[in-house]
């Protein structure tokens, strides 16, 4: 018996094996779900409960604390969203800053997808919902909280920030839900989750759901749950009859060649790497070989992450290269192939990655690319995951790759690929004249122009207005003489934060601006705050591989990038062609 089972046993809970969790033959109504919510699900094509839903709904609808384990794609989201809507419907109105319920998710993408899943339920019940996460301005979130929110879906970091500022009070929470509970209980998340749960009333119903429930979750169970019932239905270790696992031995350059071949096959493919840098590099290498690939990792701005994920959803990009944490937010039912370009370090990550395919009863293939020096590591990984893969020790021959990913390969010319994805090219580096193409890639248009020129390493006009439209009519530039091209109209004056110098924001459509590519964050109303990532402009519908398309590294939460000759701090002062920075070196 594990510590999790011990924790549940001390609370008087019971555990149901997946074999005891067959869907109810009568549907949702027989499980106790209100008829109105059942009708709200019908247009989504959801008429029969999945095993995890059938197992947990009778208990969750009565208000019991629940731990639910079901593999990725098993319907866990509605297993807790349905009882959430049923229990809040018809209750007291939400008070300002005091949400009635809280749903915690580890990633922005997952929080947004949960909000999307809740929309039909909210439309039927009239319950309001709000999603909060970092990487964007907080003012719209704060204003929504002041109006009152029934269902708050949040990532821990931004939620704690708003709590610390007094914008969120969790004393009125009636239902608390933690999705991907095992990941939320891991390392860096656990202290934040504890701080949040300490502010939730002990009387609130608490539900924890994940593909795996291990000892880390047991820490939360012991302290915060009361008499929890554990349901394991179609869990992560349950066999998926239509998911095939393969290990292909490849080394050196053969790995990239194999990866490109597989990704060029028909259907959607998700490639996983261990690091954000690895995801960025692999996506770039695949595009260089003619594969329509985009990346998804934590160093992208929220706008870039959303655009890249949307491009993968709608089929514009057939391949998505992602990191482990980003995998928690990917919900696409027709992913044909998952490739572990870098084998994960532990089996839970392998299960979560692999769960992106073979969803909703569809077939799927999982391929692990492993060097000869990784054989023992991969063997141990598969044993822990209780997977018996097919081993291809002789390498990746063309007949083998055709068998693993059938169909003709499609490789695009670079011009066609760039037109399809609208992938930005790197902007001019330090010491180069950025006059011709100041808006390069859509993310650098508002970086500042001084009389039509940019001095080496300077960031003229990189100020409050030029980074997200803080002022509706004027752009506030930090530099005394800095000119911001952040205004869409190209008219008006820049208000100097350091002095009284003013100048006209110049817009030369022929040499300084590319169509549809304005200042950083142009077109996004609201405030541009430190740590937020405005990304590229919304006009033009472009997809970018990084926040600005430059070759530097974006530091999430810092509001700046490292490298590329840019400074990360200090208020710049100087004349029109010169910038000085206190506490920061020149680029």
Check for a shared fold between 3-232 and 243-412. yes
CA distances to 371, 442, 445, 536 from 439, rounded to whole Å, are 42, 5, 3, 10
The angle formed by the CA atoms of residues 461, 518 and 531, to the nearest 5 degrees, is 60
Q: Over 60: is that where the pLDDT of 14 sits?
A: no
Report the alpha-carbon distance of residue 162 to residue 175 in Å, rounded. Answer: 19
Report the alpha-carbon distance of residue 490 to residue 316 in Å, rounded. Answer: 33
pLDDT tens column, 227-275 = 999 988 754 444 445 789 999 999 988 999 999 999 999 999 999 999 9
Sign of CA dihedral 264, 424, 302, 566: positive
User: So what's the pLDDT on residue 481?
Assistant: 39
Please compute the mean of the pLDDT values over residues 40-53 and round it to a whole number: 90
User: So what's the pLDDT on residue 107?
Assistant: 85
Report the alpha-carbon distance of residue 445 to residue 128 in Å, rounded. Answer: 37
Q: Over 80: is that where the pLDDT of 395 sits?
A: yes
CA distances to 32, 63, 201, 479 from 204, rounded to whole Å, are 20, 9, 6, 51
Q: What is the C-alpha radius of gyration for the chain, rounded to an integer number of angstroms?
A: 25
Among the ranges given (34-38, 240-244, 356-360, 568-572), the one the predictor scored with the smallest mean pLDDT: 568-572
Residue 184 or residue 295, greater confidence: 295
User: So what's the pLDDT on residue 45?
Assistant: 87
Report the alpha-carbon distance of residue 407 to residue 487 in Å, rounded. Answer: 48
User: So what's the pLDDT on residue 44?
Assistant: 86
Confidence of residue 210 (pLDDT cuts 50, 70, 90): confident
Residue 73 or residue 118, greater confidence: 118
Which residues share a beta bridge with 130? 152
Q: Over 60: is that where the pLDDT of 139 sits?
A: yes
DSSP assignment of 177-203: EEESHHHHTSTTHHHHHHHHHHTS-TT
Confidence of residue 298 (pLDDT cuts 50, 70, 90): confident
User: So what's the pLDDT on residue 17?
Assistant: 44
Q: Over 90: is that where the pLDDT of 13 sits?
A: no
User: So what's the pLDDT on residue 234?
Assistant: 56
Helix axes 51-60, 76-88, angle to 10 degrees: 30
Q: What is the DSSP letter of 95?
A: B
Range ranked top by mean pLDDT from 293-297, 450-454, 544-548: 293-297
Please compute the mean of the pLDDT values over residues 442-457 and round it to a whole number: 39
Confidence of residue 71 (pLDDT cuts 50, 70, 90): low
Confidence of residue 519 (pLDDT cuts 50, 70, 90): very low
Check if the beta carbon of residue 445 is closer than 8 Å to that of residue 513. Answer: yes
Q: Over 80: is that where the pLDDT of 457 sits?
A: no
Q: What are the φ/ψ torsions at residue 44 (nearest 5 degrees)?
A: -85, 0
Q: Over 80: is that where the pLDDT of 440 sits?
A: no
Confidence of residue 357 (pLDDT cuts 50, 70, 90): confident
State how far Cα 400 lies from the chain centre: 33
pTM over 0.75: no
Confidence of residue 294 (pLDDT cuts 50, 70, 90): very high
Residue 59 or residue 70, greater confidence: 59
Which residues share a beta bridge with 15? 230
Residue 514 or residue 43, greater confidence: 43
- Number of helices (H), then strands (E), belonging to the chain: the values are 18, 19
Check if the beta carbon of residue 421 is closer than 8 Å to that of residue 407. Answer: no
- Which helix (H) or strand (E) segment is 546 a member of? none
Report the alpha-carbon distance of residue 144 to residue 129 in Å, rounded. Answer: 9
Range ranked top by mean pLDDT from 201-210, 320-329, 475-484, 502-511: 201-210
Which residues share a beta bridge with 273? 323
Report the alpha-carbon distance of residue 129 to residue 151 in Å, rounded. Answer: 5
Close Cβ partners of 73 (under 8 Å, ≥ 6 residues apart): 333, 355, 358, 359, 360
Check if the beta carbon of residue 287 is closer than 8 Å to that of residue 419. Answer: no
Check if the beta carbon of residue 462 is closer than 8 Å to that of residue 559. Answer: no
| 3-class secondary structure, 143 | helix
**Domain 243-412 = CATH 3.40.50.300:** yes
Burial 211-238 (b: 16+ CB within 10 A, else e): bbbbebbbbbbbebbeebbbbbbbbbbb
Report the alpha-carbon distance of residue 543 to residue 309 in Å, rounded. Answer: 10
Check if the beta carbon of residue 18 is closer than 8 Å to that of residue 233. Answer: yes
CA distances to 126, 227, 341, 552, 555 from 428, rounded to whole Å, are 51, 61, 32, 12, 20
State how far Cα 293 lies from the chain centre: 17
Give the residue from 102, 83, 101 showing the smallest Cα distance to 31. 83
The angle formed by the CA atoms of residues 314, 181 and 547, to the nearest 5 degrees, is 40
Among the ranges given (192-196, 234-238, 401-405, 442-446), the one the predictor scored with the smallest mean pLDDT: 442-446
DSSP assignment of 383-438: HHHT--PEEETT---HHHHHHHS-S------HHHHHHHH-PPPPPP-TTS--STTT
Q: Over 70: is that where the pLDDT of 20 sits?
A: no
Confidence of residue 110 (pLDDT cuts 50, 70, 90): confident
Tabulate helix, strand, coil % of the chain (nearest 5): 35, 15, 50
pLDDT tens column, 299-348 = 888 788 888 988 998 999 999 999 987 666 566 768 889 999 999 988 88
List the 268-273 sheet strands across, edge first: 293-296, 319-323, 268-273, 335-340, 364-370, 243-249, 390-392
Question: CATH number of the domain at 3-232, please?
Answer: 3.40.50.300
Q: What are the φ/ψ torsions at residue 232 (nearest 5 degrees)?
A: -115, 105
Please compute the mean of the pLDDT values over residues 520-548 and round it to a whole number: 38
Which residues share a beta bridge with 103? 153, 177
Confidence of residue 425 (pLDDT cuts 50, 70, 90): very low
Q: Over 60: is that where the pLDDT of 22 sits?
A: no
Enumerate the H helices of 443-565 as residue ranges.
none
Check if the beta carbon of residue 337 is closer than 8 Å to that of residue 407. Answer: no
Extents of the domains making up the chain: 3-232, 243-412, 424-587
Structure tokens at 343: 């084998």
Report the alpha-carbon distance of residue 19 to residue 233 in Å, rounded. Answer: 7
Please compute the mean of the pLDDT values over residues 412-418 and round it to a whole number: 91
Q: Over 80: is that where the pLDDT of 369 sits?
A: yes
Q: Over 90: is that where the pLDDT of 449 sits?
A: no
**Can you give 241-276 as a three-state secondary structure string?**
CCEEEEEEECCCHHHHHHHHHHHCCCCEEEEEECCH
Q: Over 60: is that where the pLDDT of 445 sits?
A: no
Q: Over 70: is that where the pLDDT of 351 sits?
A: yes
Q: What are the φ/ψ torsions at residue 102 (nearest 5 degrees)?
A: -140, 130
Among the ranges given (31-35, 142-146, 418-422, 459-463), the one the predictor scored with the smallest mean pLDDT: 459-463
Place of tokens 């490739």: 339
């Amino acid at each position: 018996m594990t510590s999790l089972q011990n924790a549940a046993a001390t609370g008087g809970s019971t555990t149901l094996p997946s074999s005891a969790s067959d869907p109810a033959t009568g549907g949702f109504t027989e499980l106790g779900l209100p008829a109105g919510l059942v009708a709200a699900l019908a247009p989504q094509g959801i008429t029969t409960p999945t095993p995890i839903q059938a197992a947990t709904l009778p208990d969750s609808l009565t208000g019991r604390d629940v731990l639910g384990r079901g593999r990725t794609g098993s319907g866990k989201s509605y297993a807790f969203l349905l009882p959430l809507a049923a229990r809040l419907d018809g209750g007291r109105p939400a008070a300002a800053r005091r949400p009635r319920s809280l749903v915690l998710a580890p990633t922005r993408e997952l929080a947004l997808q949960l909000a999307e899943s809740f929309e039909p339920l909210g439309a039927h019940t009239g319950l309001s919902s709000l999603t909060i996460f970092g990487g964007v301005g907080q003012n719209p979130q704060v204003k929504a909280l002041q109006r009152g929110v029934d269902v708050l879906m949040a990532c821990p970091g931004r939620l704690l920030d708003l709590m610390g500022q007094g914008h969120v009070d969790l004393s009125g929470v009636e239902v608390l839900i933690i999705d991907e509970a095992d990941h939320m209980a891991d390392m860096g998340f656990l202290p934040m989750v504890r701080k949040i749960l300490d502010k939730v009333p002990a009387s609130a119903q608490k539900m924890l759901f994940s593909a795996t429930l291990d000892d880390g979750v047991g820490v939360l169970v012991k302290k915060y749950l009361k008499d929890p019932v554990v349901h394991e239905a179609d869990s992560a270790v349950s066999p998926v009859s239509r998911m095939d696992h393969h290990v292909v031995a490849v080394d050196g350059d053969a790995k990239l060649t194999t990866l490109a071949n597989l990704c060029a096959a028909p259907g959607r493919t998700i490639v996983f790497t261990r690091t954000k840098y690895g995801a960025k590099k692999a996506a770039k290498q695949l595009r260089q070989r003619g594969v329509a690939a985009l990346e998804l990792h934590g160093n992208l701005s929220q706008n870039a992450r959303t655009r890249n994920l949307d491009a993968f959803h709608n089929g514009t990009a057939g391949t998505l290269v992602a990191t482990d944490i980003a995998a928690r937010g990917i919900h696409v039912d027709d992913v044909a192939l998952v490739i572990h370009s870098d084998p994960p370090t532990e089996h839970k990550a392998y299960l979560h990655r692999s769960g992106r395919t073979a969803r909703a009863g569809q077939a799927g293939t999982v391929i692990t690319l492993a060097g000869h020096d990784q054989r023992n590591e991969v063997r141990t990984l598969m044993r822990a995951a209780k997977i018996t893969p097919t081993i291809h020790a002789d390498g990746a021959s063309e007949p083998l790759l055709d068998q693993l990913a059938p169909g003709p390969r499609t490789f695009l010319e670079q011009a066609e690929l760039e037109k399809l994805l609208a992938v930005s090219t790197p902007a001019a580096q330090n010491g180069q004249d950025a006059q011709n193409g100041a808006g390069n890639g859509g993310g650098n248009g508002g970086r500042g122009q001084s009389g039509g020129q940019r001095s080496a390493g300077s960031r003229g006009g990189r100020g409050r207005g030029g980074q997200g439209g803080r002022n509706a009519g004027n752009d506030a530039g930090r530099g005394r003489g800095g000119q911001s091209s952040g205004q869409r109209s190209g008219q008006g004056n820049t208000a100097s934060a350091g002095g009284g110098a003013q100048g006209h924001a110049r817009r030369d459509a022929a040499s300084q601006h590319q169509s549809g590519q304005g200042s950083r964050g142009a077109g996004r109303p609201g405030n541009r705050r430190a740590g937020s990532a405005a990304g590229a402009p919304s006009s033009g519908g472009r997809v970018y591989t990084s926040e600005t398309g430059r070759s530097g590294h974006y530091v999430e939460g810092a509001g700046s990038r490292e490298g590329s000759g840019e400074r990360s701090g200090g208020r710049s002062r100087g004349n029109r062609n010169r910038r000085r920075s206190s506490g920061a070196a020149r680029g």
